[in-house]
Structures are given as C-alpha cells and as structure tokens.
C-alpha cells in the first residue's frame, strides 16, 4: 500500500518538476516514470519488505515458551540485539535527514544570495519584445529608423507607457550578442592576443532610461548622433576603469577588430553604469554601446510601464499593427521573467533537495516516535514500579526524553560529519556560499532537534501519565 501511494506521489511530483525546468535545459523536459523505473521500484519495494520483515521474524523465532511468558521478558533491558537494530535504523534516518537538509539549506542560501545581487538595472514593470524588420520592406537604415520613430510616437500616446527604448541584446537573455577585440588609439600591441576585448551592444537613450541604468560621465546618445555624423559609443563603468584606469575615457577613441582593420575609430562620449549581461552569477564584463541611430537593425523593444507589464500587450499589438499590419508580435516577455529564468537552474535543486530533505526528516521523526513509543510500552512495568517507589512524573518524562534524544544526538553527529564530505559535490551549485557554511550547519541540526523532540514528547508524556496501580495489576 505504501509503494502504491509512493508511486502516485512520485508521478505527480515528476509532472510538477517538469514544469519548473528552465528553458535552457529542455532535454530534461522528457523525464518521466517509465517501465524500467517502475520495475526497479517494485523490486526495491519487495526486497525492502522482505528484509525488514524477515529480520524481526528471525529474531523472535528462537524465543522459548518459558522465556516469552516470563515477566522479565518485558523488562527495561529487553533484548539488546533487537533494541540495537531498531536504534541503529533511527540513527541512520536522522543522519540522512541531516545530510539532505544541510544540502537544501546550502542551495537555499545560495539562491538567496543570487536574488540579492545588484543586476545594475531594475527589472520590475519592464516589457520586452523582439522586432525583426524584413529587408524586403525596410531596405535601408533610414527606413528602419523611421519605423522605430513612428512606433515610439504611437506608444507614447498611451498613459500606460513610461519610457520606451531599443537594445540589440537584452541583459541575461541569449541572442545575437557578440564580443570582439578592439584597438585603443595610441596604444599599439605586439600580438593580436594582447588586444583588449569587450561585449558589443547597440542601444538608444530610451533603453538606459527604461532600465534605470545611470549615466556616470559625459553625455547620452542624442539627436547629434546620426547616420552622417562621426560614430560614437558609450562604455560601461567596468570598461572605463579597466582600460583607462584613472583617466577620463571621454573623447578617447577605439576601433573594433585588428590594427589593420578598415573600421572607423569610435569616440567615447559617455560612461554608463554596469549591467549584468551574460548571467546573474558571473563577473561583470567590459561593454560598449553603439547608438541605434548609427547602427539600426533587429532590436528588442523595451517598455517601462506604470502597470503590470502583461496588461500592455494588447496596446503593443495595436501600435505595431497600426504601422505595419504584417509585423508579427511574438515572444513578449516581462523582464522579471527573464531574470527568473536566469536563476531557474539554481532554483530546481533547491526545490528537489528541500522536498527530499523534508521527507527524510518526516521519516526520521516517525522513526524516533515509533521507537520511543515502543520502548514506553516495553518499559511500562518498569515505569510503574519506579512511580510506585516514589519517582515523579517529571523524572519519568526526563528518562524517556533522554533515551530518545540520545538517538537523535548520535544521528546528528553522524549526519554532520557525512554532510561535510558529501556537500562538496554541491559546490558548482553554490554562489558566495561555501559547502561548510557555519550558519547552515548550525540552523539545520537545531531545526531537526526541535522537530524530533516534539515527536518524542508525545510518548514521553504518555509514559509520565501511566497509572502504576493499573500497570502493575495488568502484569
């Protein structure tokens, strides 16, 4: 019956986990409980039932009739071998629960660290939409810019729209993003490998306003930057500090590619704040931005809204349709969802380890409760005599609690030692948290101790309330 119930829960659990799997690891979307897994489960369950059924049967098969009827057969000592087996299983359950819960605690702490990272932008109330203008209908750069200008005019009429901007590569979202080496004017290098490199992007001033990325120095892109004017760029704070150190980068020039490249030199006109581009946990990389007005093409439209971003989707569809009815509107996403997807690979282990840890703690709690309850029944004669001879209720309560807590303490010690070795396998999943994090190693044993102590208190209270007259009369 337990196996059937477990399979039903497992099937539901797998379906729930599949929904949580991030887009980047689609191959896991096919996981399911197949016949091989089902067969293995049936064999494992059968073997477990047989082993844990045959062991106590063999232990009791050699008890003589005389021994079984003796009063001392129900004494406090009982059969040492049987008690050792039961106690060992409980200790193992507590140790396993401790290991799993410490693992869960570490990845939970790591996820919390990730969620508190300064991304360099505000993701709330932001909507993103890819726009790819077909060359057949928009053959020139001016045609592309005209489309964007008309779209901005329509969108800004809506009271729901705040800032509107364009960017080629959305932070934390894979796409047509690229990196390149570049040449700094007046700084020759001997080898190509020694050339500096940076992430290249294209954006307009509206993108920085929508994402709340600050201008730190110089000026923002504006009407002076056209297809006919001298090419300009903005650089990130990390890039400015890395390649110009304490110098001001404003007015400095660089060109992408090798020294022999025919590309034009680009003039730095401003420095903007850093924004996480590749992933949440990775380091900041130098980044430079071309203005959309000088490098138009396929872009992401970004809109900061005054309401929930999804409420703007219909307005967005109507605005694009009014300019070009044949333009498809797809892959509309709230920026918060993109940020959540970027941490989904960390969130999945959190959920699975937490579930396994909670189940292990439940089993350990039930195990301790069962052993202590059984011990109380076995020792009822002894407890009755102790109370009859003057032992108080609190004395009985302490004695039962002491036996139960001793098992828990042994399990916790073994679990902590095992966790120190096993949690090293989680290192790749951790961010700014070590596998020996002191907070986690202190909190989890305390949590386990509290939960299991509550379970022990139930049979301990029952033992303290035993009536010695009734107990001794029954014996």
Q: Looking at the domain assignment, is residue 142 inside a domain?
A: yes
Q: Looking at the domain assignment, is residue 51 inside a domain?
A: no
What is the total count of domains within the chain? 3
CA distance 149 to 153: 6
Q: Looking at the domain assignment, is residue 290 inside a domain?
A: yes
Would you state the pLDDT for residue 27? Answer: 55
Cβ atoms of 171 and 187 within 8 Å: the answer is no
Question: What six digits make up the tokens of 44?
Answer: 């494992």
10 lies in which domain range? 1-38
CA distance 364 to 358: 10
CA distance 260 to 265: 12
Does 152 lie in the same domain as 284?
A: yes
Q: What angle do CA 36, 38, 39 make, to 5 degrees?
A: 65
CA distance 284 to 298: 25
Does 405 lie in the same domain as 281?
A: no
Does 376 lie in the same domain as 321?
A: no
Q: Looking at the domain assignment, is residue 366 inside a domain?
A: yes
For 52-92, what is the HEC assignment? HHHHHHHHHCCCCHHHHHCHHHHCCCCCHHHHHHHHHHHHH
Does 317 lie in the same domain as 453?
A: no
Does 312 lie in the same domain as 370?
A: no
Does 354 lie in the same domain as 319?
A: no
Q: Looking at the domain assignment, is residue 126 inside a domain?
A: no
Q: Looking at the domain assignment, is residue 336 inside a domain?
A: no
Does 356 lie in the same domain as 462?
A: yes
Q: Which residues contact 132 (CB under 8 A, 6 or more apart)?
A: 298
Q: Looking at the domain assignment, is residue 107 inside a domain?
A: yes
Cβ atoms of 140 and 295 within 8 Å: the answer is no
CA distance 314 to 147: 19
Does 317 lie in the same domain as 419?
A: no
Partner residues linked to 183 by β-bridges: 255
Does 389 lie in the same domain as 316?
A: no
Q: Judge residue 297's burial from the number of C-beta atoms within 10 Å of its C-beta, 0-12 exposed, 13-18 middle, 19 or more buried.
A: middle
Does 394 lie in the same domain as 286?
A: no
Residue 67 host element (H or E): helix 65-69
Give the position of tokens 């726009």.
131
Does 241 lie in the same domain as 295?
A: yes
Average pLDDT for consecutive 10-residue bins of the chain (475 residues)? 81 74 58 82 86 77 61 48 78 89 88 84 91 90 93 88 91 76 85 88 94 95 92 95 91 89 90 89 89 91 89 88 88 87 77 83 86 77 73 79 87 92 82 87 91 86 71 58
Does 472 lie in the same domain as 363?
A: yes
Taking Cα atoms as reference points, which of 299, 272, 301, 303 lies closest to residue 163? 303
- Predicted TM-score of the model (pTM): 0.73
Q: Looking at the domain assignment, is residue 62 inside a domain?
A: no
């Amino acid at each position: 019956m337990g196996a059937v119930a477990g399979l039903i829960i497992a099937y539901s659990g797998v379906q729930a986990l599949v929904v949580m799997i991030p887009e980047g690891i689609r191959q896991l979307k096919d996981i399911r409980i197949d016949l091989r897994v089902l067969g293995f489960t049936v064999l494992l369950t059968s073997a477990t039932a047989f082993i844990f059924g045959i062991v106590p049967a063999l232990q009791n098969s050699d008890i003589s009739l005389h021994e079984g009827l003796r009063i001392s057969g129900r004494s406090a000592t009982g059969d040492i071998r049987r008690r050792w087996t039961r106690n060992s299983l409980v200790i193992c359950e507590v140790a396993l629960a401790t290991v799993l819960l410490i693992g869960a605690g570490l990845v939970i702490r790591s996820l919390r660290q990730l969620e508190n990272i300064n991304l360099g932008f505000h993701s709330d109330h932001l909507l993103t939409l890819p726009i790819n203008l077909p060359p057949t209908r928009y053959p020139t750069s001016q045609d592309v810019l005209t489309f964007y200008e008309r779209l901005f005019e329509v969108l800004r009429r809506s009271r729901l729209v705040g800032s509107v901007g364009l960017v080629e590569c959305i932070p934390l979202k894979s796409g047509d993003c690229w990196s390149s080496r570049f040449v700094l004017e007046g700084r020759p290098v001997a080898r190509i490998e020694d050339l500096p490199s940076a992430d290249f992007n294209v954006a307009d001033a509206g993108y920085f306003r929508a994402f709340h990325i600050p201008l730190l120095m110089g000026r923002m892109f504006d009407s002076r930057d056209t297809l006919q004017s001298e090419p300009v760029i903005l650089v990130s704070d990390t890039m400015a500090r890395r390649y110009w150190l304490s110098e001001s980068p404003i007015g400095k020039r660089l060109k992408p590619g090798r020294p022999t490249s025919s590309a034009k030199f680009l003039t730095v006109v401003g420095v903007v704040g850093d924004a996480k581009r590749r992933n949440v946990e990775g380091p900041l990389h130098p980044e430079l931005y071309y203005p959309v007005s000088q490098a138009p093409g396929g872009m992401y439209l970004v809109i900061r809204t005054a309401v929930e971003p999804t409420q703007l989707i219909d307005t967005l569809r109507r605005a694009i349709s009014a300019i070009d009815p044949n333009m498809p509107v797809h892959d509309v996403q709230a920026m918060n969802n993109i940020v959540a997807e970027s941490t989904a690979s960390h969130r999945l282990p959190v959920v699975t380890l937490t579930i396994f840890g909670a189940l292990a703690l439940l089993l350990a709690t039930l195990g301790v409760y069962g052993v202590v309850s059984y011990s109380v029944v076995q020792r009822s004669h002894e407890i009755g005599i102790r109370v009859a001879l003057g032992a108080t209720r609190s004395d009985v309560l302490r004695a039962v609690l002491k036996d139960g807590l001793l098992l828990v303490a042994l399990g916790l010690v073994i679990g902590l030692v095992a966790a120190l070795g096993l949690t090293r396998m989680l290192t790749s999943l951790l961010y700014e948290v070590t596998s020996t994090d002191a907070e986690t190693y202190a909190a989890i044993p305390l949590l386990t101790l509290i939960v299991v102590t509550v379970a022990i208190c139930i049979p301990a209270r029952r033992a303290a309330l035993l009536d010695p007259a009734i107990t001794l009369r029954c014996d």
